[in-house]
Amino acid sequence: MSETAQTLINAALRAIGVIASGEVATAQELADSLESLKFMLRHWSNIGIRTYFLSQNTLALSGATSYTIGSGGNCDTTRPEDIKGGYVKDANGFDSPLTIIDAERYRSLSLKSIAGTANYLWYNPDFPLGLLYFWPLGAGTAYLDSLKPLTEPTVLTSSIAFPPAYDEAIKWNLALRLAAEFSKEPSQLVIALAASALKWIETKNFNNQINAVNLNDELRGGGGYNINEGG
């Protein structure tokens, strides 16, 4: 489903009484509201369960210590907010699941240059390019399941194409932000609708992401290095 940024902004402005039904917002009100909408979507992107799907990208591994991911990086795609899982396909076509670890776990590896099929991945979401650290180091093709940022509208006429439930969440939650922007007091109904719509998409997205990662792990099987033993 797709709505323009201006349609959603007008709906939010009506909800808090900045404009009445049939009234047109001023150019400045629209510009300020578009800025707030962008900020809100960026915030939602940083909270993974507000992003509605996992996307998969591939990366050819060469045995390097690290790889960049993002526009123009070794993995040339939109920079992910988070890596949720993945696997490595070796030259013989066998898949090995990747376990995502944090920075502390990666630092604890005593021999980071050990060779072999990667079983572990630490993602450092640096900016503008994220950094991928695989362990062990080796060849193959990595398939990475990641959460990408929600698409921001650049102009008022930009189409915002999200699943239908997002229109409801965007309208009422943007209304709360614009209430602060325009010194309006949102009604208790607006507050309740915003919370309910956001909770619904967070619950659905969380379940979908967990199910997708678990299914991929079941299909790929296991084996390989034991990170606790260092090899």
Q: What is the pLDDT of residues 139-160, one digit of tens each?
A: 999 999 998 888 889 999 999 8
pLDDT at 230: 47
Q: Check whether 179 has a pLDDT greater than 80.
A: yes
Spatial CB neighbours of 115, under 8 Å, sequence gap ≥ 6: 63, 136, 137, 138
Q: Give the span between the Cα atoms of 88 and 113, in whole angstroms.
A: 18
Q: Check whether 214 has a pLDDT greater than 70.
A: no
User: Which residues face 59 on adjacent strands?
Assistant: 142
Contact 184, 22 (CB under 8 A): no
pLDDT at 217: 52
pLDDT at 231: 44
List pLDDT tens digits, range 156-172.
999 988 887 889 999 99
List pLDDT tens digits, range 32-82.
999 999 999 999 988 877 776 788 999 999 999 999 999 999 999 999 989
Question: Which of 134-143, 146-155, 216-225 has the weakest average pLDDT?
Answer: 216-225
144: helix, coil or strand? Answer: strand
List pLDDT tens digits, range 106-121.
999 999 999 999 999 9
pLDDT at 2: 72
Distance from the Cα of residue 222 to its chain's centroid: 26
Give buried/exposed letters for 113-143 (b at 16+ CB in 10 A, else e). eeebbbbbbbbeeeeebbbbbbbbbbebebb
Q: Check whether 227 has a pLDDT greater than 80.
A: no
Q: Check whether 123 has a pLDDT greater than 80.
A: yes
pLDDT at 210: 65
> Nearest 5°: phi and psi at 69?
-135, 130
Token digits for 119?
């079983």
List pLDDT tens digits, range 76-107.
999 998 999 999 999 999 999 999 999 999 99
User: Is the dihedral angle over the CA atoms 155, 156, 157, 162 positive or is it negative?
Assistant: positive
| DSSP character string of 55-113 | EEEEEEEES-S-EEEETTSSEESPPPSEEEEEEEE-TTS-EEEEEEE-HHHHHT-S-TT
pLDDT at 16: 97
Q: Give the span between the Cα atoms of 169 and 222, in whole angstroms.
A: 39
Question: Which of 74-78, 188-192, 225-229 has the weakest average pLDDT?
Answer: 225-229
Q: Give the span between the Cα atoms of 172 and 15, in whole angstroms.
A: 8
